[in-house]
Amino acid sequence: MRNLLQGFKNIIKRILQAIKRRMKKIGIGWAFIIPALFFITLFVIIPIFYSMFLVTQSCRGIVCESNFTGNIDKLMGDVQFRQVFKNTFIFFIVQVPIMLTLALIFAVILNNPKLRFRGVFRTAIFLPAVTSLVAYSVLFKMMLAPEGIMNTAISFIGISPIGWLTDPFWQRVTIIIALLWRWTGYNMIFYLSGLQNIDKEMFEAAEMDGANKRQTFFKITIPQLKPIILFTAVMSTIGTLQLFDEPFNIIRGSGTTASTMTLSQYIYNLSFVYIPNFGYAAVISYVIMIIAALLTIIQFRIMREEK
Amino acid sequence: MRKPNKIVKIIKLSFTYMFLSIVSFICVFPFYWMLAGGTSTSNEVSSGNISIGSNLVENYRILVEQSDYLRAFGNSAFVAILTTILALFISSLAAYGFEIFKSKRKSKVYGVLLLTMMVPFAALMIPLYKVVIYLELSNKLISVVLPAVATVFLIFFFKQSFIKFPREIIQSARIDGANEFRIFRSIVFPAMKPTYAAAAILTFTASWNNFLWPLITLSSNELQTLPLKISILSSSYTPHYGVILLSIVIATLPSIIVFFSLQKYFVAGLTGAVK
Amino acid sequence: MKKVITLLFVAVLILTLSACKGKDADFSDGKITIWAWDPNFNISIMNTAKGIYGDDVEIIIVDMAKGDLETKLHASLSTDGDLPDIVLIEDYMAGKYLSSYPGKFADLSDSIDHSKFIPAKVAIGTFDGAQYSVPFDSGVSGMFIRNDLVTDADVAAASIAGVTTFAQFVEAEITWDEFIAVGQAYTARTGDAFMANNFADGGLFRTILNSTQSWYTNADGDFEFNGNPGVEEASRIYKEIYDAEVMFNGTSTEIYKAATDWATWVDPLGNGDVATVTTGVWISGTVKSTTANSGDWTVMKTPRADITGAVNYSNLGGSSWYVLADGDVDESVAFLKAIYEENQDNFYDTILINNGAIGSLISAASSTAYTANDPFFTNTAIWNDFALWSALIPAIDYGFYTYEADEALMNAMPAFLDGTSSLSTFLNEAEVAAKSKVE
């Protein structure tokens, strides 16, 4: 590991020197990028290279042996992996479209300058996004407990109590509700900021041409927001594939984990709960990376800007 | 002709307000509940009381005495403010470089960067900790700041926001003889304030609430940040709910204040001065 | 432009350098750093120890949540990261850490006299023939019962041989089936739950299992659920409790209150929603925290599983101190030895009175604090009882995989409880899942 790091250090040094020498040739654009590249190399790229090395290892704590094919064989026959993969995909497919649609609707409504109390509503809807994870999981656990406020509320309309935290089906519903609650306002912020960057004159021109609200929305708002919509779609995809916080904090300890454990939670368990096997954990993480990359490429293709 | 139109409008508007009110209630209620709990005794909270109690001062006293909460607040503030300033600066510069000075090679580098975002953090934590130990930064607040000052997430966000920036403005500034950094600072930055505001809110909040990484890299009591303190408080075997909820209320306030003070940039027309 | 970048790099460099002047995590520094969890129990106890040991050595106690500490410990052990000198490890986890990180923990076989501690506890910290632990608190279990809520009639309804009154009941050695029968009588009369249980948590399951002298594994250390009498019996009892419904006011009512986390399990203890709790002695602090209930609680022996070899003594949880090999071993051992082995200034009396902690040092149990009557518990000598019981807990080799087994069993449990899986299907399924976690 030390040698590896030393090697990278030298490589960075050489790259920096080369850049300095050829700054004029390469162009000013790189000067904007280099500071970020420096930190990302140090704190992201190097760790990723190390984790790539880990993929070939099978570990028990600090006792590791080289066994890449063993890891792949294990992955192929891993029942639990199949289960957590399925769970993660259910969350992804159900939650992301609902959340992004809602966020866009909120943003467009709240962008209307004629709407009163805009600031109040905006703050209210964004509020869940600022809660710390610990806070939010304590809250959800208390509200969704067997005799919690949620079951009391639904009993008024004649529905019998639901095992929000314990029933395998409803656990998933709980996670999706929690995700929507926390992240819809968060995504709304991106759309709101994107809406501000649209030239006001475009809307004015459309209004003068007699376009109604729906037409304006589909002809101006959506195309102009496209880059931001792509951004939120990609980030939500990655975020959901790496989903960890909600199932880890809300369900774990409350109910059985079989129907809500996600890929990231499995990685965490492989590293910090079961006998630590950092090698196999790294293998799973690259499965996530490959899937996320494929989905991102598809999204970029769909949203590609017409030149 | 005019009248029915107006009625429809009013009905539509009141529907909008009702919809927004319900959504807002769902979003805000838990905060009210937290606030009520933070002012109540432990028994009042566990018996489901949701009115404002009278135990605020006592809860605060216990909180500050038991857990060195103010120091943790200071640590969190240091980390979050420094991270936000550095991250906005470094990441937006890079995004500008990638978007405005497009080239084949840069696109390739950018593609690799996007790819790095897809590896889950749970798997990178151990390697990252090794790097931090090697740099002798472990158990220092700066070890929480530095890995977050250049994030692919922010670069991606800024780059997507720069896409719609009118290039003619940059071109004409270049003709006027302004240097590239000056263009960025005095033309692009002011025009992109809503984007910066959004990025600042999200970076601050993420840093303020960051839990897993500070847990790994910070080992001393004096360096613990707020989320670590809340985790300790809420995992006690004889939990003191009033104190826990008060600690959460206090921990949530700064993010709300940051949001409040920056949200003026989301008002339509105020800053969309891209002319 | 160049200037800006240079400036930036300089700024970062200064920041980094200034950060380097911070606290150095150097080890042999004459300080002892300790990681532990729970401010009202372990942390408070270590502070007592620190007070007794004096100021010759600076002792720094770092407070963390239990799960957080475990994560952090794994991260640091596997990277040569920051580690304390002494760390608290739960007994179920000991085997996992000792086997995964060879050489990282100091061998205390020669420096601590382990014969002075309860053997079952010493066995837990023993790996490959070497002793690594300084045994700390016992998780000896008991059944806490409300004498103001449960009546003679409830007890009599269960028709236990030789038991007709509550007073006889608390002295008796009962089985879980008798416990359920009393619970049914109690719930049928009051409509309240007799106990609280989180059916996704393996705590009660392990309490039952430990008392049957068996564990999740066979003699070779491999998982064996199906055909393992202890696991089968504990599963049966879980289902009996789950199914034990009685009629109250015309509606069928369960004898348990469903808990979904620590809070919903603990809260009913204070407000009278449940009449009993069967768990480790460490719960006594929580029970006593509702001072209004003073005089209302009594403690009796743990109910017994209905198979041969099962006893009325069991254990849940408990933890021990471990010394890190790269730390200040001599200083740390000297400190732990003085307090925990030599009982300096009657340390064990103090923590018993202040924290309700039962230690594992055999000689400590004969002191006056242990034999004194506790007014909270109807003026009975419950500490003496617990100390006696703790020596009778069946010694179990927990192996390395307690929580893996727990997770697999609890995940498969719902289907068994609601009747969709038979006992053998359920155990087979759980066994396969558990084995896949440790391959």
Q: Are residues A163 and A254 in the same domain?
A: yes
Do residues A26 and B152 lie in contact, with contact meaning Cβ atoms separated by under 8 Å? no
Phi, psi of C274 (to 5 degrees): -130, 155
Of A34-48, B174-188, B254-268, the range with the lowest mean pLDDT is: B254-268
A127 touching chain C per CB within 8 A: no
Crossing angle for the helix pair A79-110 and A168-196, nearest 10 degrees?
A: 40
At B159, the pLDDT band (50, 70, 90 cuts) reads very high
Percent of chain A with pLDDT over 90: 41
To the nearest whole Å, the CA of B162 is away from the closest chain C CA by 20
Residues β-bridged to residue C163: C160
Tokens 């891209």 belong to residue: B274
Contact B234 A138 (CB under 8 A): yes
For residues C22-32, average pLDDT: 58
Q: In the structure encoding, which two tokens stand for residue B102, read together?
A: 């497009």
pLDDT, tens only, A256-289: 888 999 999 999 999 988 888 999 999 999 999 9
Backbone angles phi, psi at A275, to 5 degrees: -60, 120
In the predicted model, is pLDDT for residue B50 greater than 80? no
Domain ranges of chain B: 2-56, 67-266
Averaged pLDDT for residues A104-126? 87
| Shared domain check, A82 and A166 | yes
Write out the residue range of the structural domain in which residue A40 sits.
Answer: 2-54
pLDDT, average across residues B43-48: 72
Question: What pLDDT, on the 0 to 100 scale, is given for residue C29?
Answer: 65
Residues paired with A196 in a beta bridge: none
Given an 8 Å threshold on Cβ–Cβ distance, is B235 in contact with C37? yes
pLDDT at B4 over 70: no
Task: Name, in order, each residue with C-beta under 8 angstroms of C210's C-beta and a sequence gap of 6 or more.
Answer: C141, C314, C315, C316, C393, C394, C396
Looking at the structure, tell me whether residues A15 and A129 fall in a common domain: no
**Residue A23 CB partners (closer than 8 Å, separation 6+):** A30, A31, C2
Residues A117 and A252 in one domain: yes
Cβ-Cβ contacts under 8 Å, C16 against chain B: 135, 137, 142, 146
C contact chains, 3+ CB pairs < 8 A = A, B
Give the model's confidence band at B48: pLDDT under 50 very low, under 70 low, under 90 confident, else very high: low
DSSP C236: H
Lowest mean per-residue pLDDT among A53-57, C273-277, C351-355, C435-439: C435-439
Whether C25 shows a pLDDT value over 60: the answer reads no
Provide Rg for chain B, Cα atoms. Answer: 24
Q: Span B118-130, mean pLDDT?
A: 91
Examine the pLDDT at C344 and tell me if it is beyond 80: yes
One domain for residues A35 and A108: no
Q: Are B174 and B183 in contact (CB under 8 A)?
A: yes
Q: Is A2 on the interface with B (CB under 8 A)?
A: yes
**Coil vs helix vs strand at C140:** strand
Contact A79 C413 (CB under 8 A): no
What's the pLDDT score for residue C4?
47
Tell me if A264 is assigned to some domain.
yes
Q: Whole-angstrom Cα distance, residue B249 to residue A85?
A: 36
**C 84-113 residues inside an 8 A Cβ radius of A:** 96, 99-102, 104
Tokens 């805000």 label which residue?
A: B28
| CATH code of the domain covering residue A268 | 1.10.3720.10
In this structure, the dihedral spanned by the alpha carbons of residues C407, C412, C416 and C421, taken in order and rounded to 10 degrees, is: -160
List subunits contacting chain B, requiring 3 or more Cβ pairs under 8 Å: A, C
User: Could you tell me if residue B61 is left (phi over 0), alpha (psi between -120 and 50 degrees) or otherwise beta?
Assistant: alpha
Quick one: how far is CA C23 from the chain centroid?
Answer: 34
Give dist(CA B172, CA B176) in Å, integer.
6
Residue with tokens 């991106």: A190
Residue A120 tokens, joined: 């109040």
Residue B149 Cα, gap to closest chain A Cα (Å): 7
| Domain-located, residue A197 | yes
Q: Do A48 and A145 share a domain, yes or no?
A: no
Tell whether A39 and A107 lie within a shared domain: no
Contact B92, B151 (CB under 8 A): no
Q: Which helix (H) or strand (E) is C33 found in, with range?
A: strand C31-37
pLDDT recorded at residue A140: 85
Residue C258 sits at the chain A interface (C-beta within 8 Å):
yes
Dist. CA C401–CA C434, nearest whole Å: 9
Q: What pLDDT, on a 0 to 100 scale, did the predictor assign at position A20?
A: 64
Q: Read off the amino acid at residue A120.
A: V
Sign of CA dihedral C50, C53, C55, C57: negative
- Strand partners of residue C280: C141
Collapsing DSSP to helix, strand or coil, A212 comes out as coil
Q: Chain B contacts of A134, Cβ < 8 Å?
A: 211, 227, 230-231, 234, 248
Q: Which of C131, C125, C103 is nearest to C318 (CA)?
A: C125
State how far the Cα of A236 lies from the Cα of A218, in Å rounded to an integer.
Answer: 22
CB-CB under 8 Å, A34 with C413? no
Closest CA to B272 of A193, A116, A289: A193
Mean pLDDT, chain A, integer: 87
| Residue A137: alpha-carbon gap to chain centroid | 18
Q: Which amino acid, residue A62?
A: I
Q: Is the pLDDT of residue A120 over 60?
A: yes
* Residue at A94: amino acid letter: V
pLDDT of amino acid B3: 61
User: Rounded distance, CA B92 to CA B190, Å?
Assistant: 13
**Per this entry, what is the length of chain A?**
307
- Asked if residue A307 is part of any domain, the answer here is no
Chain A closest-CA separation from residue B20 CA (Å): 7
Of the candidates A175, A223, A179, the one whose C-alpha atom is nearest the C-alpha of residue A199 is A223
- The answer to whether the CB of C39 falls within 8 A of the CB of C46 is no
In the structure, what pLDDT confidence band is assigned to residue A249 with cuts at 50, 70 and 90?
confident
- Give the pLDDT confidence score for residue C345 in this predicted structure: 92
pLDDT band at C34 (very low <50, low <70, confident <90, very high): very high
If asked whether residues A91 and A42 sit together in one domain, one would say no
C-alpha C364/C-alpha C378 separation (Å) is 23
**Residue A56 has what DSSP assignment?**
T
C-alpha distance across the termini of chain C, in Å: 56
Kindly determine whether residue C16 and residue B137, on different chains, have CB atoms separated by under 8 Å.
yes
Are residues A236 and A147 located together in one domain of the fold?
A: yes
Q: Let me know whether A141 and A254 are in one domain.
A: yes
Task: Return the pLDDT at A22.
Answer: 61
Q: What is the mean pLDDT of chain C?
A: 89
Q: Is A21 in the same domain as A132?
A: no
Fold entry, domain B67-266: MetI-like fold (1.10.3720)
Specify which residues C63 forms β-bridges with: C36
Positions of E strands within C38-127: 58-64, 86-90, 126-127
Domain annotation covers residue A66: no
Q: What are B14's two structure tokens? A: 């009141």
Which amino acid is it at C83?
Answer: L
Name the residue with tokens 């991260």.
C75
List, in order of start, the domains of chain C with CATH numbers: 30-139+317-366 (3.40.190.10), 141-315+396-438 (3.40.190.10)
Q: What is the pLDDT of residue B263?
A: 80
